[in-house]
Each structure stands twice: as structure tokens, then as C-alpha cells.
């Protein structure tokens, strides 16, 4: 049986044909109206003017004059109306075809998007701001859907890649326990728990970064002093820095303008950057968190600079990609999931800010800068 559920319903002519018929009816009505008025009102007015001017000495001459007027009026009016009708029909056909093609393009593009082809775009039809706004809105929708689809595919690929190691390890140890090769001692139990914690942390991080990249993170924005955000982040990280023996230095300027942001989310970003700096700074090193006014732009700059391992220049462009790691800067042995910086970047951009990273090279430390517009 033929499936017709998704087929378009065909009911008569298309939009272009209906517009053309409607415009033709309007033109025909206008032509008939003009002809009727001219044929009924014109002769009476002409006869009245002839009588006032006393033109024509006999009734035969007057009748001949009126017949001449009616004949000339009929011919000139017919030619004028015919020319106007043809011109109007040509314009109507042209406009109807343009509108019909534009609507057909929208319908075809919508069908492609429904089929999963999110790279389709509709050009501006040039039929006025309403149609241009419609085309722009459609293209933004297609781009948004494409972004969501790419995120979904990357999410599945990332999950498959990152879950492979802990799942394989859990499976290997469980088989070893079943075969009696290994015993469930304290060390084995701790290793198994570490792998399950890694899976749980991975799940939480994937959810967080996906929501942030899709702009689905709820922000509770309010006026906040930049000094308070930086100070709170430094206070929260102080204990872990002291435990590792890394100096945490604060450099917070006074009189900074207020910011419109979610202090908890921005605290999460700074906490992430401080944790990242701590992982890659050896004992005896230093990390500086600063809050200053950016020269030239007037933006507030929050930065975290460390004296740790540094980042090779070739890896800087990829630093904020999910699960991206390099041997010396972001390897798995440091315990990070590899998406903390991606989460931080997405949260900063949700505040209309910018997050960048610089480093002189391996062994020379690195600096992460957040630029936020003032309130």
C-alpha cells in the first residue's frame, strides 16, 4: 500500500497561480468599472457642456457631435485600458512567479532540513524585508539544528572513545576475579571504584559541556563586582594550593566597573582554570589570579597565569576542543576529563565574553584570559 502520509496535499493551483488569478480578477473588475463609468457618466457630462456652450445649430449636428465624442472616447478608453491591462498582467505574472519560486525554495529547503540536511540555506528572495527576515530566520534555524546534530554526533563519538578504557579495565578485573586470577583486596576495590568514579565524572562533564555549547545553561545574571568573583575563586582554591605547595597570588585592582553575570557560573569557570593551572604547576611554582581593566577596550579582564609546564604553540588553537590533550599539557595522568576548558569557554561565551590562552612555549607557563564587557 502506498504511503501518502508525508506527501503534500494537492488542492488546485499553486500559490503563484492563485495570486495570478486573483490579480487578474482585480484588473478585470477595475477595467469593467472604468468602462462602465466612462460610458454612462461621460456622455451626459458632454451633452450638458454642449448645451451650455450652444454648439450645434440643429439637433442633427448635436447628435453627430455626441456620437463623435462617444466613438473617440470608446476607442481611446479601450486602447488605454487594454495597454494598462497588459502592463499590469505582465507585472502580475512576473511578481507571481517570483513569489511562487521563493515559496517553492522555502518548501524544498524545509523538506531537506526535515530529511536531516542541515547545511541547506535559502537566499534572500529580495521581495521585501518580510521575506528577507523569513529567509534569515530559516537559515538561523537550520544552522542551529545543524549545530545540535553535530554536538549529538560528537557526544556519541566522545562517549564511545572515553568510556572504552574504564569499561575495558572493569571488564578485565571482573573476569580476573571470576577466574580466580585476582582477589578482591583493598587495592583492587579502590581501582574499581576509581574507574566507576571516572565514568560518573565523565557523564557529568559531557552533560555540562553539551548544555553549555547549545546555550541551554540557565544563567542567573545580576550586577556583580569583578573583585568579589576573583576573590571568592581564590579563597575556594587556597586549601588545595597549600596542600600541593604551589603559591596562589592574587592581583585584584580596585574601582573596576560592575559586571552583569552569574557569579556561580563565573566562579565555576575560574575554579576550573585554577584547578587546571594547579595540575600543571609543580610544587614550588606560582599561580596568579588577576582582575584588571583591559587597556583600550574598557572590558574587565580576569586572568589565571601559572609558571608550570606551558603549552606548545601548535596545540594552542585546539586547547578548548573537547577531549583534546597533548603529551605535556593535558595528558590523562593528570586526572582531567579533557573537557573542562571546553566547559569554561562555553560559559564565558554565554556571558558575551571571550576566553583565550597564551603560552611562550613548553616549560614557560601559560595564561588564560577572560574578557567581559562591563555592565
Grouped pLDDT means (10 residues each) for the chain, 375 residues: 45 57 72 69 62 58 62 68 72 72 77 77 73 79 79 69 74 82 79 78 70 69 89 90 92 88 87 89 92 84 90 81 55 54 84 89 88 87
Residue 7 in domain: no
Choose the final residue of a domain: 187, 213, 239.
213
Average pLDDT, the chain: 76
Residue 8 in domain: no
Residues 351 and 244 placed together within one structural domain of the fold: yes
Residues 257 and 358 placed together within one structural domain of the fold: yes
Residues 326 and 202 placed together within one structural domain of the fold: no
Name the domain count of the chain.
3
Residues 159 and 255 placed together within one structural domain of the fold: no
- Tens of pLDDT, residue by residue over 241-266, are 999 999 999 998 888 888 888 888 88
Residues 198 and 246 placed together within one structural domain of the fold: no
Residues 343 and 245 placed together within one structural domain of the fold: yes
Residues 149 and 184 placed together within one structural domain of the fold: yes
- Tens of pLDDT, residue by residue over 182-222, are 777 887 788 788 778 777 767 776 776 667 666 666 678 89
Residues 228 and 355 placed together within one structural domain of the fold: yes
pTM here? 0.51
Question: Which residues does residue 358 pair with via DSSP β-bridges, in sequence order?
Answer: 367
* Structural domain containing residue 77: 15-116
Residues 243 and 209 placed together within one structural domain of the fold: no
Crossing angle between the packed helical segments 263-279 and 340-350, to the nearest 10 degrees: 150
Amino acid at each position: 500500500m502506498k504511503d501518502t502520509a508525508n506527501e503534500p496535499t494537492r488542492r488546485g493551483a499553486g500559490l503563484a497561480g492563485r495570486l495570478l488569478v486573483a490579480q487578474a480578477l482585480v484588473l478585470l473588475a477595475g477595467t469593467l468599472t472604468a468602462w462602465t463609468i466612462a460610458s454612462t457618466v461621460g456622455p451626459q457630462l458632454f451633452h450638458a457642456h454642449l448645451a451650455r456652450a450652444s454648439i450645434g445649430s440643429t439637433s442633427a449636428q448635436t447628435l453627430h457631435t455626441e456620437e463623435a465624442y462617444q466613438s473617440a472616447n470608446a476607442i481611446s478608453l479601450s486602447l488605454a485600458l487594454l495597454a494598462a491591462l497588459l502592463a499590469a498582467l505582465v507585472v502580475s505574472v512576473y511578481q507571481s512567479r517570483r513569489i511562487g519560486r521563493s515559496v517553492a525554495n522555502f518548501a524544498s529547503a524545509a523538506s531537506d532540513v526535515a530529511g536531516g540536511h542541515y547545511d541547506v540555506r535559502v537566499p534572500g528572495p529580495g521581495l521585501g524585508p518580510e521575506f528577507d527576515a523569513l529567509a534569515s530566520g530559516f537559515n538561523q534555524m537550520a544552522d542551529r539544528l545543524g549545530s545540535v546534530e553535530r554536538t549529538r554526533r560528537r557526544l556519541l563519538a566522545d562517549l564511545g572513545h572515553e568510556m572504552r578504557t574504564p569499561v575495558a579495565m572493569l571488564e578485565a578485573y571482573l573476569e580476573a576475579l571470576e577466574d580466580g586470577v585476582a582477589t578482591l583486596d583493598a587495592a583492587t576495590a579502590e581501582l574499581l571504584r576509581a574507574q566507576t568514579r571516572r565514568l560518573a565524572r565523565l557523564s557529568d562533564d559531557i552533560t555540562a559541556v553539551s548544555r553549555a555549547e547549545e546555550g541551554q545553561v540557565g544563567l542567573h545574571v545580576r550586577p556583580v563586582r569583578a573583585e568579589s568573583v576573583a576573590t571568592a575563586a581564590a579563597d575556594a582554591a587556597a586549601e588545595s594550593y597549600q596542600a600541593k605547595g604551589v603559591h596562589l597570588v592574587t592581583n585584584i585592582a580596585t574601582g573596576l566597573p560592575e559586571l552583569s553575570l552569574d557569579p556561580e557560573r563565573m566562579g565555576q569557570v575560574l575554579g576550573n582554570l585554577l584547578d587546571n593551572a594547579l595540575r600543571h604547576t609543580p610544587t614550588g611554582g606560582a599561580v596568579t589570579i588577576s582582575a584588571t581593566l583591559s587597556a583600550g577596550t574598557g572590558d574587565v579582564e580576569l586572568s589565571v597565569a601559572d609558571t608550570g609546564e606551558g603549552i606548545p604553540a601548535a596545540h594552542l588553537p585546539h586547547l578548548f576542543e573537547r577531549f583534546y590533550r597533548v603529551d605535556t599539557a593535558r595528558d590523562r595522568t593528570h586526572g582531567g576529563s579533557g573537557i573542562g576548558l571546553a566547559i569554561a569557554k562555553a560559559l564565558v561565551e554565554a556571558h558575551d565574553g571571550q576566553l583565550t590562552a597564551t603560552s611562550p612555549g613548553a616549560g614557560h607557563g601559560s595564561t588564560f584570559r577572560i574578557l567581559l564587557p562591563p555592565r
